[in-house]
Structure formats: structure tokens, C-alpha cells
Structure 1
Amino acid sequence: MLPQEIIRRKREGNELGEAEIAFMVRGLTDGSVTEGQVAAFAMAVFFRGMTLAERVALTRAMRDSGTVLRWDLPGPALDKHSSGGVGDNVSLMLAPMVAACGGYVPMISGRGLGHTGGTLDKLDSIPGYRTQPENDLFAAVVRSVGCAVIGQTADLAPADKRFYAIRDVTATVESIDLITASILSKKLAAGLGGLVLDVKCGNGAFMADFAAARGLAESLVSVSNGAGLPTRALVTDMNEPLAPAAGNAVEVAHAVDFLTGGHARPENRRIEAVTVELGAEMLVIGGLAPDLDAGRAAQREALASGRAAEIFGRMVAALGGPADFVERAGTHLGAAPHAVPILPVRAGRVAGIDTRSLGVAVIELGGGRTRASDPIDHAVGLTALAGLGAAVGPDAPLCLVHARSPGAAAAVAERIRGAYMLAEPGAPTPPPASPLLDRVDG
């Protein structure tokens, strides 16, 4: 086979065979296909698209480019994937909640991308926590604790790493076909028995349009099921931060608070709904609950009993973190020296939020990257974020900015004020909308 002929066939709109796709992925892995050829292939796919059979073949080939984990566990190996948002620390709570109900969660997560936070960056704020353990330790923690949240190792779907790096600089990242293969190749390589996807939609998501988010969810579900992994998806709202905190250490602190009773507070209504619903879906797909109502009840009991918090603490300790992290999170997490309230320009109710802008503010504080090599300040971020419908004014700030200096806080203050659209104080407040927009079954 010749790479240029495969590229030409896709450029002309032909359907590629499984062998042709496997040939291109092998070339991605061993370097025999040049960067220019990979870029041309990606652009041909971007404009011509792929059939379901092609997407399944691409996903499987990328999965098989490295190690495929095999699990021998007393219960199902389950995971979830989120397309990214602001204040989305669901993974930190969800993994131990599902483990508390009999599931095993080998969760392979990523770092921040664009304005969205990354689970690994959050976990790196825990002293000693190993986000890149050896496979033997990873497996041992999953078996003994029930969950382990780590990063992608070098031998899992290595073709995806090279392909993504080339797509990132050739304006082909947005292809749903290539996004689908990129996400699912890593999940398939993790050896899962079931997967639930959280596809975000709104001004804080990569896909602001509902139809586009629904299309991505349908592609992911159809390809994953076609590749042999039972999968469901939720489409959820990201027109405001999911949690009232955005950053790294501040989101870990929020997760500990959530697991130890904070889930019942009004400001956690949205994130509690999404986390419980994802967990219920995971329990049903893993055969651990007969239906979603039973799954929701089991997830809430895992929180109320303290079992999920206990498992989170055991996971942190098993992966090198402090043994008393849940009990003394505040003493272990780094704190920024300045917490500055950001007051609104006038009193009123929050009528709209530019959620992406809040994520950018975290990056400007040093809590994210503008280049892949940039270090992260894990202590900075935003807390007490006002949600839609909240009353704000001289005694009710938009948020607290955690910064290294008063000047750093002042530098993001106008961005934060500009991110909030206010209605008059007496304006009627619409009832809170559910963050659960749609469901896509396999």
C-alpha cells in the first residue's frame, strides 16, 4: 500500500477498507507515514468524513497501536469520559461513588485543554499523588480500592498521541470522526466493560451548539458499541460552571467537601445531578443496578453513608498521597496567599454567564497553560462562583479570586465582571433548569 493512494481515495470521497486504515495507523505509530501525509489524511477526513465502519476501524486500529489492558476483577470495569468544561470535577467524586456500589473504575484521564480544566492537573495538587504509576500499581489499586484515577501511559494508544499533535497544528481537531477515534481508542485500550460519556454543550464547552453536541454523542456511542464496548452518553449543560469552584486545588477541596456532606447544599445542585446521573448510568450498564432509579438511589446512599469519601481517601493514599487527606485536605492542599472578592458593577440577579471567560481567567491566574510546557500554579482559582439566578451586590460577590498577589487578582477582575450579565434586582427569576439535556443509548 502507498499512503498517497489511500489519501487520494479518501480525498475523492471513497470509503476506505479496514486494511487501508490499519496501514495508516501503523505508519503513524512507527513513523513510516510522514507528518505531511498524516496531515493530508486528516484534512481529507475532515472534508469528506467517514462512515460508521471507517470510524470503528480507525478506533480499533488506534487502540491496537499499543498495550490493551485486560482486567480480571470481581466486578465490571467501568469508566466515564467528559468532553470538558469549567468547574467539572465530576471524576473525583464519581469514581469512588461507583466503586462504593461494586464497580471497578480504572479511570484514565487527561490534562487541561484550552479553557477547560484537566483531572490530572487537579490531582497533581495533592502532595505525593502519582498520576503516572506503573501498570502493576495501577492494577493493584483498582483491585484493592475499587478505583484509580491516573493519566494515559506511553504504551496506551500511542498512535493517538502523534495523530493529535499533528491535528492540533493543522486545523483538523474539530472533525467529529477524528475526535471519536481519539477519545475511544484510549478507552478501548483500557479494557473496559462499560463506558458512559458526558458530552458538554453550551458557552463553556467545546461544542456550544446542542445539535453538534448531540451529533458527537451519537457518533461516540455508535462507534464504541460497534467496537464492542457497551456505551451510553448524556448531553449536559455548560452555560454556567458545573461546580462553584474552578481551578486545581480549589476543585479538589470542593470534591472532598462534596463527598463529606457538601453534596446536599443548594450550590451543588447541578453537579450533584450530573454526578449521580452518570453514576446511575454506569451501574446500569455494568449490571449493578436494575434501572436508573435504583442506580440513583445507590449513588446517593454511597454519598450519605460516607463510603464514597472513605474510598476516595484510600485511593489517594494507595497512589502516594497523604493517608489523612480526606480528614485534613485543607492542610495538605496549597493555598494562594490572597483571596479577593470580586464585586459586580451593580446589584442584580445573574441572568447569563460567559463560562468560557471564567475558564480563561483561571489560566490567566496561572492555573492553566498557554503552552504545553508551561508549569501550573495549582493553588490559584475561583471559588464561591455565583450561578444563574443568584442575587449579587455589595454584600454578595460574583466569586472569590485566589491569587498570588492583589495585582494578579485585579488583572482578572474585569474579565470576571464582564463574564456576568445581570438583570435588575426585582426581575423575576426563572426556575433552575436541569443540566441534563439529553440521553443517547446504545
Structure 2
Amino acid sequence: MSTTTSTSTPGAGAVEPFDAIDVIRAKRDGGVLEPAQIDWVVDAYTRGVVAEEQMSALAMAIFLNGMEREEISRWTAAMIASGERMSFDALSRPTADKHSTGGVGDKITLPLAPLVATFGVAVPQLSGRGLGHTGGTLDKLEAIPGWRAALSNEEMMAQLEEVGAVICAAGSGLAPADKKLYALRDVTGTVEAIPLIASSIMSKKIAEGTAALVLDVKTGAGAFMTEEADSRELARTMVDLGTDAGVATVALLTDMSAPLGRTVGNALEVRESVEVLAGGGPADVVELTVALAREMLASAGRTDVDVEAALADGRAMDTWKAMIAAQGGDPDAALPVAAHTEELRAEADGVVAGLDAMKVGVAGWRLGAGRSRPGEAVQAGAGVEIHRHIGEEVRAGDLLAVLHTDTPERFGRAREAIDGAWDLAAPGTAVPARRIVLDRIV
């Protein structure tokens, strides 16, 4: 390996142990990067010594040629080393965390965190905001009057000890290399590189310091990975990364061909989550919430509990209210309602054989529930309320959905997006029951 004296502004005059061009060439030509090369290139990129165009070239080489398990593990460790690490060792409770790769109507974190915490397992859920057709957990919770996402580490630890669950924004100190690389991948066509997706997710989750992690890896039309084989590879890679880092990790491969539940939006999804915590709610949301809760509890050594009972008897709701109140929110306040609505009605009789998650998600985004760029404001009341889901009979004129927005000029493009989302089979057609959990990967 040749060495070079950096001529870039950051660290000018310092002698670097590697040359970025050599690292790029090694991966471009299908080679395996050495551990020291990986450590250096991630650190040097974070410091600004490796230029954006150089990391762009390396990201594309990784996208095209892949990485071996040891390379991905080392890359993830280097991302973690770029920032701070949290520890929950001081808590009196065991910890378990969940991460979803994102989807349409994926509100599962909201009922899941308090449900798991009800059984004495702390849930430190550091969440993000939505971008594009997938919603963000923090955006949803900010629809609750007074609720705040930003907590200090001390506040978070106190809430975990007292309440058992916290959903808040991740601090900027966790894996700063990931934040920089994520933005670069977004504009260089390398977002879909599985080694980089896996290391991005897992570097932050491992840095968060939880003892156990359950991954909800989506597949289907509304998922980040639409092909099951790709989703399965991503799940396998992330489970291996967690295992290599000493975190008990399991993944559920779950269906995202259709939206989860009957609402897509912010306040709309909070309302539906509260219905689940009250012992009701859509069957698919309940099924996935319970499945993930069992995995999280088992990973923390709690296999002797009745998860459904905690939803039915109000215990999980009590934890939810305590969690919301601890972050300044009023769990009993009325949720925001959009100023304008528009109904979509069926044009023919039939049975709903399919409901395209992507079309519904894009419609919700265009109505104002999501954002086109980071930092853009979202509407708390905007979104889509689904009235006919898979397997249900429809008559001509029946209500399929209600669109919600504060800005009625958005209805036109939202209708264009959602057009054709309902796939109607002939009346009386038997539609197979939807499988939510497709596989478990350990």
C-alpha cells in the first residue's frame, strides 16, 4: 500500500496510512478490504480527508461487488467507533429494542414499546422521521399535543427506569459516519447496497447499547426491498452483524404488499395505535405487535407472559399514557383532524384481492403526511383512511377510502397516486388470508 500526504483542507499536512484510491481500486476489482483499510477509510471520510467523490466511488464499488461477512462486520464497527456508545447497564431492567425497515401504515412501535415495557423489560426506542412514502415514528407522536421527541440521555435513562419505555430522537453523537454516508448514498444511486443498508441500521442500533434486538424486515410493494430474496438477504446480514457484535438478534420477515392496518398518516395512525392498546384495532396490526412483543420479551428472558392479556386488560394502555405524559404529551387530548376530506368510492362490485401499499403510501405523502426532503414540515391530520381491505366484499358505490388534508389542492395528485390501488376480484371469489409474518431468521 502506498501512503500519501493529504492535500485536502481538513488535516492538511498530516500523513495518512492509506490512499483512498488504493482502497477504491481494491473493491472495484472485487477484492476484500483489509480491516485496517476499513477502519481508516470510514474514519478519514468522517474527518473530511476522504473526499465525497472518493467515497461515492467506493460506495458504488461496494454496491456492484458486495462485501463478505467479515468486511461488513468491520465496516459496522468502524461506523460505531466514529461516535459515542450508550450503555443501559445501570438500569434495573433488561433491555430490548426493535427496528423496522419501514413501510406503509407501519405504526407498530407505538403500541409495541409500552406493551413490552408492561412486563418489566425496558424499551429504548430511538426513532426517526419519515421521508417519502414511509412514515416516521416521531412525526406520528408529534401529533399528540405537547409531546416532545428530544430528550437528554439523563431524561431517557430516568424514563426507562420509571416507565420502562421511551420513544425519542437519536442523538447526533451516535454513528456520525452513518449520517454523512447515508446522505451521500441518497444522491449517488447506492441506497440499495445491502452491505451499506445493513451497516447503517446496525451501527446505530449497536451503538444504542441494547442487549437484544428484534428486526422487522419488510418485503413487498410498500417496502424498501420489494423482492423477498433481497429482504431475506438483508435480514440475514443484519442478524449476523448483531450476533458478531454480541447483541442477541432475531429478524421477522413480514409482508408489506398491502398497508398495515386501516390508516396511513400521523394522527390517524396514533388513533389506530390507541385502539390496539385498548384491546381492539385491526387484526394485522395486533398480530404483528404481538409477534414482535413475544420475540422482544423472549430475548430478555420473559417467556412466561400473556401478551394479549396486557392489551385486553388495560395494562399496556396505562404504560402508554405514562410514556406519553413523561415526554410532555397529553395522552387524553383530542388528536388533530385535517380541515378537508374527500371520499373514494368503488365503481364496481367485487372482492378486494389486493391493496397496493406503495400507491396508498404515495397518496398519503402527497396529502401532506410525509415530506419530500429532510426538515420539511408535515401535516398532523393528513393521510388516508382505508375502509375496504383485502378479503372484504365491495359493492359499487361503497366507500373505499377517505383522503385527509389541510390543503385541498393536494387532492388531485393524491387521487392520481392511489388510482388502481384496489384490485377487485369477481364477487364471491375466495381470497387467501394474508400472511403477515413470513419467516423468522436467527
Q: Is 1:39 matched up with 2:41?
A: no
The answer for the alignment partner of 2:435 in structure 1 is 434
**1:303-347 residue CA offsets vs partner (Å, 9 max, x unmatched):** 11211111111111111112xx1xx34x2x211123332101222
Deviation at 1:34, TM superposition (A): 1.1
Q: Is 1:384 matched up with 2:402?
A: no
The answer for the alignment partner of 1:399 in structure 2 is 401
Deviation at 1:395, TM superposition (A): 5.7
The answer for the alignment partner of 1:287 in structure 2 is 301
Deviation at 1:207, TM superposition (A): 1.3
2:326 corresponds to which of 318, 326, 334: 318
Deviation at 1:418, TM superposition (A): 1.6
Question: d(CA) in 2 for partners of 1:282 and 1:172?
Answer: 32
Equivalent residues in 2 for 1:155-170, closer than 5 Å = 155-170=173-188
Deviation at 1:258, TM superposition (A): 1.3
Identity within the alignment, % = 43
2:99 corresponds to which of 76, 81, 84: 81
Question: d(CA) in 1 for partners of 2:35 and 2:158?
Answer: 36
2:153 corresponds to which of 122, 125, 135: 135
SS of residue in 2 equivalent to 1:418: coil
Deviation at 1:386, TM superposition (A): 2.0
2:308 corresponds to which of 282, 293, 300: 300
Paired residue type of 2:96: L
Paired residue type of 1:344: A
Kept in 2: contact 1:79–1:196 (CA 8 A): yes
Deviation at 1:176, TM superposition (A): 0.4
Q: Is 1:123 matched up with 2:141?
A: yes
Deviation at 1:405, TM superposition (A): 5.2
The answer for the alignment partner of 1:272 in structure 2 is 286
1:152 corresponds to which of 163, 167, 170: 170
Paired residue type of 2:248: P
Q: Which runs of 5+ in 1 are unaligned?
A: none
SS of residue in 1 equivalent to 2:399: coil
Equivalent residues in 2 for 1:162-201, closer than 5 Å = 162-201=180-219
Question: d(CA) in 1 for partners of 2:410 and 2:51?
Answer: 44
SS of residue in 2 equivalent to 1:133: coil
Deviation at 1:414, TM superposition (A): 4.6
The answer for the alignment partner of 2:343 in structure 1 is 341
Question: d(CA) in 1 for partners of 2:44 and 2:413?
Answer: 47
SS of residue in 2 equivalent to 1:174: coil
The answer for the alignment partner of 1:61 in structure 2 is 78
Kept in 1: contact 2:362–2:418 (CA 8 A): no
Q: Which moved more, 1:143-152 or 1:160-169?
A: 143-152
Kept in 2: contact 1:345–1:417 (CA 8 A): no
The answer for the alignment partner of 2:221 in structure 1 is 203
The answer for the alignment partner of 1:363 in structure 2 is 365
Kept in 2: contact 1:367–1:381 (CA 8 A): yes
1:223 corresponds to which of 241, 245, 254: 241
Deviation at 1:394, TM superposition (A): 4.6
Q: Which moved more, 1:302-311 or 1:171-180?
A: 302-311
The answer for the alignment partner of 1:424 in structure 2 is 426
Deviation at 1:261, TM superposition (A): 2.2
TM-score (norm 2): 0.92
SS of residue in 2 equivalent to 1:398: strand
SS of residue in 1 equivalent to 2:420: helix
Deviation at 1:251, TM superposition (A): 0.3
Kept in 2: contact 1:343–1:393 (CA 8 A): no
Query: How many pairs does the alignment contain?
Result: 424
The answer for the alignment partner of 1:107 in structure 2 is 125
Q: Which runs of 5+ in 2 are unaligned?
A: 1-17
| Alpha carbons of structure 1 residues 429 and 281: separation in structure 2 relative to 1, 3 Å | same
Question: d(CA) in 2 for partners of 1:140 and 1:31?
Answer: 36
Question: d(CA) in 1 for partners of 2:76 and 2:41?
Answer: 12
Question: d(CA) in 1 for partners of 2:380 and 2:132?
Answer: 16
Deviation at 1:204, TM superposition (A): 1.1
Question: d(CA) in 2 for partners of 1:414 and 1:13?
Answer: 44
**1:399-423 residue CA offsets vs partner (Å, 9 max, x unmatched):** 1212225554455335334211111
Q: Which moved more, 1:211-220 or 1:22-31?
A: 22-31
Question: d(CA) in 2 for partners of 1:203 and 1:20?
Answer: 38
Question: d(CA) in 2 for partners of 1:407 and 1:174?
Answer: 33
Alpha-carbon RMSD: 1.5
**1:95-141 residue CA offsets vs partner (Å, 9 max, x unmatched):** 00100111100001111133111111111212221212111111111
SS of residue in 2 equivalent to 1:262: coil
TM-score (norm 1): 0.92
**1:37-96 residue CA offsets vs partner (Å, 9 max, x unmatched):** 111111111111111011111111111211100112122211111111111100001000
Question: d(CA) in 2 for partners of 1:162 and 1:405?
Answer: 34
The answer for the alignment partner of 1:373 in structure 2 is 375
Question: d(CA) in 2 for partners of 1:367 and 1:397?
Answer: 21
Kept in 1: contact 2:143–2:266 (CA 8 A): yes
The answer for the alignment partner of 1:259 in structure 2 is 277
| Alpha carbons of structure 1 residues 431 and 43: separation in structure 2 relative to 1, 3 Å | closer
The answer for the alignment partner of 1:232 in structure 2 is 250
Question: d(CA) in 1 for partners of 2:245 and 2:23?
Answer: 23
SS of residue in 2 equivalent to 1:188: helix
Question: d(CA) in 2 for partners of 1:19 and 1:198?
Answer: 32
